[in-house]
Structure 1
Amino acid sequence: MLKNLSREDRLRVMRFVCSFAWADLEIKPKERALVHKMVKELHLEPDEAKQVEGWLKVPPRAEEVDPAAIPRAHRQMVLDAARRMIKADGNVDPEEQESLSLLEQLLA
């Protein structure tokens, strides 16, 4: 289903994924590896992949990860992707759990 998303929707998912990778203020190797795996799963174009790489260097701005902008049909997908990210390194930090809980409430 992920690969059937529009360009805008694929990038939206990856902005949220990258923002969750930054929740504890550092990108760990396993988180970086998951982002690269998801880039492949989403069949991102080279320019899209470059944007995602940029978000691994500098997190997306808060206004770029507005839960209200997530279409209802994609909300579960974004939540699932965020869950994958916070579990990627095998350690769920309190900041990551808090961010996920907030996202779940906003998308409910």
Structure 2
Amino acid sequence: MSVETEVVHEATDELVEAFARLLPQLSSKAKPLDHEAVASLVTSSTNTLLVARVGDVIVGTLTLVTSPLPSGPRAHIEDVVVDTAARGPDQEWWHMEEGCVTEAWRTTEVA
């Protein structure tokens, strides 16, 4: 299985649908995101939203949150979710024990 990762620059119907499918797998308390909410995530100056695709299907998302600090900019990863259908022992790009930050995510250029 080939996984491609990319930075998202705009809210699309495809992305809204992907969040509708993926977010419940992350949290049973998370409210569904409409187009406006997804656009707010994508356009926030403190967020970089990445998606993972298998073929034409978004199978995962990762939000990189950046903060300016006196010692320099910092970033942390939030809300990583990978579709259960894309997980499994033969899906080497996804490793829960490594906190999802495997090669596919690490090699995505965000700047």
TM range (shorter): 0.3 to 0.5
Structure with greater proportional strand content: 2
Structure number with greater CO (CA < 8 Å, separation at least 6) is 1
Which of structures 1 and 2 has the bigger CA Rg?
2
TM-score (norm 1): 0.33
